[in-house]
Amino acid sequence: MNKRTEKDRIAKMRQDHHDALESLSLSNEECLANAQLIAAAPEMLAALNQVERAWVGDGIGMSTAVDSCLLAIAKATEANA
């Protein structure tokens, strides 16, 4: 293979690699949404725990547990976290 053909092949591989990475990139909005979801994870897990406790009658009412769930969802989905 001559040098020009090898350079073209390498350039094509680099472009293909760049195109593949670009197609996997998340937009700023998607990154922000993921960060908000991660930030809300402790509240979501605590709310789930409250639902489980309410289900088995462990001193917490289901309405309180549902309120906790709604607050966790709001935190995970608010526009300006």
pLDDT tens for each residue of 33-76: 888 888 889 999 999 999 999 999 999 999 999 999 999 988 88
Measured CA to CA in angstroms, residue 62 lies from 40, 41, 46, 47, 66 at distances of 21, 20, 14, 11, 6
Cα distance from N-terminal residue to C-terminal residue, the chain:
56
Give all strands (DSSP E) within 1-81, no chain letters: none
pLDDT of residue 24: 67
Give 81's pLDDT tier (boundaries 50, 70, 90): very low
Whole-structure pTM value: 0.59
